[in-house]
Amino acid sequence: MNNKLRIFKKINKAVLITILVLLGIRIATPYAVTAGANWYLNNKLENMQGHLEDFDLALLRGAYRIQGLKIWQTNVGEKRPLVDLQTATVTIAWKELFRGEILSDVSVYGLTVNYVDSAFPDKKQAPKDWRKILKEFIPIEISSFNLEKSAFHFYNNDFKIPVEVSVTDINLEAKNLKNTASKKQMPSSFTLNAQLEKSGKISSKGRFNALKKEPVFDGSFKLEDFNLREVNDYLRVYGPVTFTRGTFNVYSEVATKEGRVAGYVKPFLKKADFIKNNENFISGKHLLLEVTGGMTNVLLRASKDGSAATQVDFEGPLKKPNVETKDAIMSALSNAFREPLKQKVDHDIDLKDVPEKTKRE
């Protein structure tokens, strides 16, 4: 009896020690990972440096979360971080695990990317090789991706009036990025919503195949109610005009497969009025802009609803598609003098509209 009791006590002691060791590892792991990540961010990134505030581990859920990740580009004099991330949660994709694949579902909240453009290399802050950084923090391939409340900011401080263009409130959801079990031609899907500056509403959705070497994609895009005055700072630097009033809408559809593309873009200027800047652009580009501006003014005044619009169709090789310029001009004239274009996505482009390769290609 005493022998059995001693054996039982030894087993209980071994189990208790094992639990304590596992508990200690569980408690120590987040601190060790945080320290290791910060060492990597400060020693292994070329011309970049970063800091991670916290790392949380949830073993039962098969998930981990990183919080407060910031990355700066050290070879430029920019104080804003290139990347500023509030939280990112990586969870094992259980559905894919049951199919024998180790994939992850990634949810990102509050990601801000600051892109600084400049004519001087020592002032330009631009993304480098994101894949290397991404693989360090998300070593498992991604099955689904969710992005919430995020932003992209474009800056240029080379001029007296600094340029800033912002896309905020970005919400993106992408599903089935690595679904090899599906027999569909485009098993993956995405939806995107965002805001351009203070007024423009961006939305896009589509389907695609992320496993193909050549893109297979069918999607639509629209930007609505963008106040043109909000882009005047940008135009003062990159263009010869500024707007005193007007709104801008654009609608587009694109389909691609086997290195070929088909689609259209429908831009709309409504009740727009613009003036020339003091800058002089004496070149062929300047002449083209002058003629385009003059034609736009004529079309705005001639149209029934005070809009200038056209539809630009394109198709052919993905790298250099053919643009139907004549049709675009006729479309602009028709919108002004005959029948206005419909301000919407037409839903008439899909994979069957993508042209086949020609013998010359």
Task: Looking at the structure, tell me whether residues 58 and 174 fall in a common domain.
Answer: yes
Backbone angles phi, psi at 186, to 5 degrees: -130, 80
Q: Which domain holds residue 141?
A: 1-181
pLDDT grade for 349, boundaries at 50, 70 and 90:
very high
Amino acid 62: pLDDT:
79
Amino acid 317: pLDDT:
92
pLDDT grade for 79, boundaries at 50, 70 and 90:
confident
Q: Are 266 and 251 in contact (CB under 8 A)?
A: yes
Task: Looking at the structure, tell me whether residues 12 and 150 fall in a common domain.
Answer: yes
Lookup: tokens for 111: 């990601």
Q: Is pLDDT at 357 greater than 80 in this prediction?
A: no
Q: Is pLDDT at 173 greater than 60 in this prediction?
A: yes
Q: Is pLDDT at 319 greater than 90 in this prediction?
A: no
Task: Looking at the structure, tell me whether residues 252 and 106 fall in a common domain.
Answer: no
From 133, 165, 181, the end of a domain falls on 181
Amino acid 17: pLDDT:
59
DSSP state of 199: T
Question: Does residue 198 sit within a domain?
Answer: no
Task: Looking at the structure, tell me whether residues 299 and 338 fall in a common domain.
Answer: yes
- Helix, strand and coil content of the chain, in percent to the nearest 5, comes to 30, 40, 30
Amino acid 70: pLDDT:
93
Q: Are 220 and 345 in contact (CB under 8 A)?
A: yes
Question: In the chain, pLDDT over 70 holds for what percent of residues?
Answer: 76
Question: Does residue 18 sit within a domain?
Answer: yes
β pairing state of 142-156 and 104-117? parallel
Amino acid 94: pLDDT:
73
Q: What is the mean pLDDT of residues 193-212?
A: 93
Name the average pLDDT for the chain. 80
Question: Does residue 188 sit within a domain?
Answer: no
Question: Does residue 127 sit within a domain?
Answer: yes
Task: Looking at the structure, tell me whether residues 96 and 237 fall in a common domain.
Answer: no
Q: Is pLDDT at 238 greater than 70 in this prediction?
A: no
From 142, 165, 181, the end of a domain falls on 181
Task: Looking at the structure, tell me whether residues 252 and 135 fall in a common domain.
Answer: no
Higher-confidence residue: 291 or 223? 223
Question: Does residue 310 sit within a domain?
Answer: yes
Task: Looking at the structure, tell me whether residues 236 and 161 fall in a common domain.
Answer: no
Of 44-48, 74-78, 205-209, 302-306, where does mean pLDDT reach its minimum? 302-306
Torsion of Cα atoms, 273 then 278 then 280 then 285, to 10°: -20
Amino acid 153: pLDDT:
94
Q: What is the mean pLDDT of residues 226-233?
A: 87
What Å distances lie between residue 37 and 23, 30, 82, 181, 251, CA to CA? 22, 10, 17, 34, 43
Concatenating the DSSP letter of every residue in 241-279 gives: EEEEEEEEEEEEEEEEETTEEEEEEEEEEEEEEEEE-S-
Q: What angle do CA 15, 18, 24 make, to 5 degrees?
A: 140
Question: Does residue 116 sit within a domain?
Answer: yes
Q: Which amino acid is at 351?
A: L
Task: Looking at the structure, tell me whether residues 172 and 38 fall in a common domain.
Answer: yes
Amino acid 287: pLDDT:
42
pLDDT grade for 150, boundaries at 50, 70 and 90:
very high
Please state the length of the chain.
361
pLDDT grade for 282, boundaries at 50, 70 and 90:
very low
Domain count, the chain: 2
Higher-confidence residue: 67 or 98? 67
From 181, 213, 240, the end of a domain falls on 181
Task: Looking at the structure, tell me whether residues 336 and 232 fall in a common domain.
Answer: yes
Q: Is pLDDT at 274 greater than 50 in this prediction?
A: yes
Question: Does residue 341 sit within a domain?
Answer: yes
Question: Does residue 129 sit within a domain?
Answer: yes
Q: Is pLDDT at 281 greater than 80 in this prediction?
A: no
pLDDT grade for 314, boundaries at 50, 70 and 90:
very high
How far is Cα 25 from Cα 138, in angstroms, rounded to an integer?
21
Q: Are 332 and 299 in contact (CB under 8 A)?
A: yes
Of 14-18, 60-64, 353-357, where does mean pLDDT reach its minimum? 14-18
Task: Looking at the structure, tell me whether residues 130 and 177 fall in a common domain.
Answer: yes
Q: What is the mean pLDDT of residues 326-341?
A: 80
Task: Looking at the structure, tell me whether residues 39 and 176 fall in a common domain.
Answer: yes
Task: Looking at the structure, tell me whether residues 234 and 175 fall in a common domain.
Answer: no
Q: What is the mean pLDDT of residues 36-43?
A: 87
pLDDT grade for 284, boundaries at 50, 70 and 90:
very low
Of 21-25, 184-188, 206-210, 262-266, where does mean pLDDT reach its minimum? 21-25
Amino acid 270: pLDDT:
85
